Chains A and B, each alone.
Chain A
Amino acid sequence: MAAWLSSELARRAARRIAGELRRRGPGPWFPSSSTVPVLGPTAGYHRGFCSVRRFAGDTAAATATAEDSDNEFAAGELQQVVDFPGGKLSFVGEMNFVPESQRERIKCYRVLDDDGGIIYSSRFQEVSKELALKMYSSMVTLQIMDTIFYEAQRQGRISFYLTSNGEEAINIASAAALSADDIVLPQYREPGVLLWRGFTLQEFANQLFGNKMDYGKGRQMPIHYGSNRLNYFTVSSPIATQLPQAVGAAYSLKMDKKDACAITYFGDGGTSEGDFHAALNFAAVTEAPVIFFCRNNGWAISTPTTEQFRSDGIVTRGQAYGIRSIRVDGNDTLAVYSAVHAAREMAITEGRPILIEAMTYRVGHHSTSDDSTKYRLADEIEHWRTARDPVSRYRKWVQGNSWWCDAEETELRNSVRQEILQAIQVAERIPKHGLAELFTDVYDQVPSNLREQQRSLLDTINKHPSDYPTDVPV
C-alpha cells in the first residue's frame, strides 16, 4: 500500500511538474515531500526573486490541489504579521525558498557601444572636451607606462611589475569622477588613479627602482605606490585588507563632516576574503561614505570567476548587506565616469556606502611572475586586447567628436614613450638609500634596541668590508 501510494504520488508529482513547466516555464524545483523524488534540474532556470513554489504535503489530496491550482499565491498565505528582533514580518503557511539566483542577471550600465558611439537610450554624466581629452591622454599614458615598465622588468632592470592592461577606463574614469580630497585605498592594479591625481612618471619610476627619491624609501616592492599628499594610501600586498581600512577612513571623514568620500578598489578574487564581507557589513551599519569599487576582470591569477563564487558576480551581494549597488561596463569610460560620479554624490550626501561592480577583462598576466597562457587561451587574450580595448573604444568617441586626430595620437604616444624611457634612465641612476634608513620609520623615533642592531651591523661591516657591497652607503 505504501509503495503504491508513493509511486502514485510520484506520478502525480510528475504530472504536476510537467503541467507547471508548460504553463509557467522552468523554475527551481523543491522536494514536495521525502517520498517524492526531486525532479528536474535546478541549474540554469531562474524565477523571480519572490517566486513562490508550493510545498505539497505527502497526502494525495494535497498533491491534487497543488496540481489544479492556478494561482501562485494560494489560500495558504494568510498575510498575518509576526514580530521578531529586527522588525515585523508577514508570515505564510508555505515554504518558499528564495532561489539561489535570479531569473536574469543584473543588467550592466553602458553608454558607449563597441564602435565608440553613444547608445541611443543611455543617460550619462556629460564631460567637457577638456576633461574628455585629459581622460583619454591619461589612459594612453597608463597604457604606454605599463608596456614600458613591463619590458623593463623583462630586461632585468626592475624586479617586478604588474600591468593594468584592459582596465585603463576603470583606472582613469573613476579617478576623474572623484575630487582630490577623496581618499583612495587601492589594491594594486590602480596606478592610473595616482597618475590622474598628478603622480609623475618620474615618481612612478623612482618607486619601481626603490631609489632615494621613492616616497616609500625603498621599502616596498614595485607598484606598491603611496602618496599621502595625493590621498592615495600606500599599497599593501595582502588582498582586501584595504576594505575595512576604507571604512575607517570614510568614518573619519564622516566624523569631520568633510565633503569627501573614501573609495577602495579590489578584484573579483578579493571578494572572497573575509575582509570583503565584514567591510561591507561595517560600512552599511556605520553608514560610512565609502565607494566599494570591484574590478571584476574575470581572473584571480589562474582562478576564473566560475571557481571564485557562485553568485551573479559581486553586484548581487550588495543588497545582502543593505548596500546600494550597480554593475557597469568597466571598459566604457563614460559609464565608469558617470557611475562613480553618481556614487560619490550619494555616498556623501546620503552618508551611505555604494558598491560598484565594473565588468572588465585582465588583458595582461597577473604580474611578471605569471604566464597566463598556461591557464587561458591565447585567442581569448588577443580578442580582449584588440577588439575590446577600452582605450581605442573611447578614442573612437573622442575622435568622433572631432576632439582628437591621428596626428595628435602619434605625437602623444611618442612623447609619453620618450618621457618614460627618460624617467627610467634617471631613476636607475639615482642611488638607493643607505643602511641608515633600514631602521628608521619602524617607530616614530628609532628605539634603543634598533640603534643597537644598527651599531652591530655597522660593526660587522667595518670588520669584514670585503663581504659587503662597496656601493651601498651606510
Chain B
Amino acid sequence: MAAASSLHVAAPAATPRVGSVAHKSASSAARSVRVARSGAVARSGGRLVACAAVATKADAPATDAASKSEGHEVLLFEALREGLMEEMEADPTVCVFGEDVGHYGGSYKVTKGLADKYGDLRVLDTPIAENSFTGMGVGAGMKGLRPVVEGMNMGFLLLAYNQISNNCGMLHYTSGGQFKIPLVIRGPGGVGRQLGAEHSQRLESYFQSIPGLQMVACSTPYNAKGLMKAAIRSENPVVLFEHVLLYNLKEKIPDEEYVCCLEEAEMVRPGEHVTILTYSRMRYHVMQAAKTLVNKGYDPEVIDIRSLKPFDLHTIGNSIKKTHRVLIVEECMRTGGIGASLRSAIIDNFWDYLDAPIMCLSSQDVPTPYAATLEDATVVQPAQIVAAVEQICQ
C-alpha cells in the first residue's frame, strides 16, 4: 500500500470506514496530504524496536515515515496542539471550548498559545459546567461550527453524558440527517499517577454503546496529531481519548502534513505467535512485555487498535488468521470495557480461526486507589502480559 499523494484517496474496499477522511468542507481546497497506512509499517525498511513502557523517546517512528524532509521532534501534547492549530488555521469554523483552555492554555497545555493566535471567540474559556459547554458545542455544531470540546479530565465528561448520548449521538439520526454535529470531544483520561479514583476514569467503557459516536485513542505523538486532524475533519462526533501519562512522550514526526485514518488500527510489531490487541497507555506495557517475550523466544504481533468504535476488524482479522491466538490488554475495567466488546466481536467474526480461548487482561473492577502500590495493582503490568502469552501459547 503506497502512501497516497492526494487527499482524495480511494480506501481499500475491505477496510471499514465510517466517515471519509477525504470529505472536506467547501471552503478549503484539496491539499496534498498523506494518509498514513498502518500496513506500510512493515515495509518501511527499518526494523521496529520495542518501546519502553512509558517512553520518553521512540527508537523508530511507529508508522510509515518515508519523509522527504528531516521531520521534527515533538512531545505528544505538542503534537496534539500542532494538529489542532493546523486545522484552526485552515478552517475558520474550528473552535475550542473548555475550562481554562484560553489564556491558561489548558491544564495539559494542549491549547497553549491558541487564544493569543485566534482570539477569545475561537478559543473559549467556559464556566464549570460540562453538560453545558458540551451542549453548547452541539448547538454550535448544528449551526455550522466545528467545535473541539475539551474535558479537563475525561471523567468530568460524565456530567456531559446527557448531551453526549441524547443529543450529540442522536440528533443527526433523529433529525433525518438535517443537522450534523461534527464535534470533537477530547481530553485526558486513564489511570495516572495517584490522581485518585475520580480522576482515573476510563470513559471509553461508558461511551462505547452510544450510537452515532466514533471513538479513537491516541498513543504516540504521530498518531495523536493525525487523529486530532482526522477527528476535526470528520462529519461525525468523535471522542478522542488521550492519556494523562502519555503527554510527554517524544517522537520525531513528519514536517509535511498528514492525517491518520480514524477507523484504522496500527501495527506496532508484526509477529507470528500471538496477536496482542491493545490501545493507549497499555501499548507501552505490552511493548515492554514484548521485550521479555522476545528474549524467551516468543514472537508476538502487537496491534494498537486505536479505533475503539468501530473496531478495525480488517486489520485485527488478518492478524488472527495468521496467529490464531488473541490476547487483549486494556486499561478498562473487566466488566463492560472495550476488551469485553472486542472479545465478543472477535468471537462473532473469527471463531473458526482461533486455536485458543481469547484472553483479556483488564483493570480490576475497583475504584482506582490513591496509594501507589495499590494503584499499580489495579492496572495490567508487563509481568502479567508475559504470563498470559506464555499461557496462551502452550
A448 proximity list for chain B (CB < 8 A):
16-17, 310, 313
Q: Are A278 and B131 in contact (CB under 8 A)?
A: yes
B167 proximity list for chain A (CB < 8 A):
236, 238, 241, 245
Q: Are A249 and B127 in contact (CB under 8 A)?
A: no
Q: B182-207 interface mask toward A, CB cutoff 8 Å, 1 = contact, 0 = none? A: 00000000000000000000000000
A237 proximity list for chain B (CB < 8 A):
166
Check: A224 CB closer than 8 A to any chain B CB: yes
* Total A-B Cβ pairs within 8 A: 176
Q: Are B175 and A216 in contact (CB under 8 A)?
A: yes
Check: B47 CB closer than 8 A to any chain A CB: no
Check: B105 CB closer than 8 A to any chain A CB: no
Q: Are B19 and A443 in contact (CB under 8 A)?
A: yes
**Residues of A near any B CB (own CB < 8 A):** 183, 185, 214-217, 219-220, 224, 226-228, 233-234, 236-238, 241-255, 262, 274-275, 277-279, 281-282, 285-286, 440-445, 447-449
Q: Are B214 and A443 in contact (CB under 8 A)?
A: yes
- When A236-B167, A447-B16 are in contact, do A248 and B136 touch as well, CB less than 8 Å? yes
A236 proximity list for chain B (CB < 8 A):
166-167, 170-171, 174
Check: B359 CB closer than 8 A to any chain A CB: no
Q: Are B310 and A449 in contact (CB under 8 A)?
A: yes
Smallest CB gap from B147: residue in A: A248
- When A442-B173, A443-B19, A443-B236 are in contact, do A255 and B95 touch as well, CB less than 8 Å? yes
Q: Are A245 and B179 in contact (CB under 8 A)?
A: no
Distance between Cα atoms of A254 and B140 in the complex (Å): 11
Q: Are B131 and A219 in contact (CB under 8 A)?
A: no
Question: Which of B134, B143, B263, B310 is close to A252, meaning CB atoms less than 8 Å apart?
Answer: B143
Q: Are A220 and B174 in contact (CB under 8 A)?
A: yes
Interface positions, chain B 56-106, Cβ under 8 Å from A, are 95
Q: Are A226 and B135 in contact (CB under 8 A)?
A: no
Interface positions, chain B 202-229, Cβ under 8 Å from A, are 211-212, 214
Q: Are B129 and A278 in contact (CB under 8 A)?
A: yes
CB distance from B389 to the nearest CB of A (A): 28
Q: B136-180 interface mask toward A, CB cutoff 8 Å, 1 = contact, 0 = none? A: 111111111101000000000000001100110011111111111
Q: Are A274 and B129 in contact (CB under 8 A)?
A: yes
With most chain A CB atoms within 10 A of its CB, the pick from B136, B145, B214, B310 is B136
B143 proximity list for chain A (CB < 8 A):
183, 248-249, 252-253
B127 proximity list for chain A (CB < 8 A):
278, 281-282, 285
Q: Are B214 and A244 in contact (CB under 8 A)?
A: no
Q: B112-144 interface mask toward A, CB cutoff 8 Å, 1 = contact, 0 = none? A: 000000000110101101011111111111111
Q: Are B136 and A244 in contact (CB under 8 A)?
A: yes
Smallest CB gap from A245: residue in B: B139
Q: Are A282 and B178 in contact (CB under 8 A)?
A: no
Distance between Cα atoms of A320 and B131 in the complex (Å): 20
CB distance from B232 to the nearest CB of A (A): 14
Q: Are A252 and B16 in contact (CB under 8 A)?
A: no
Q: Are B126 and A282 in contact (CB under 8 A)?
A: yes
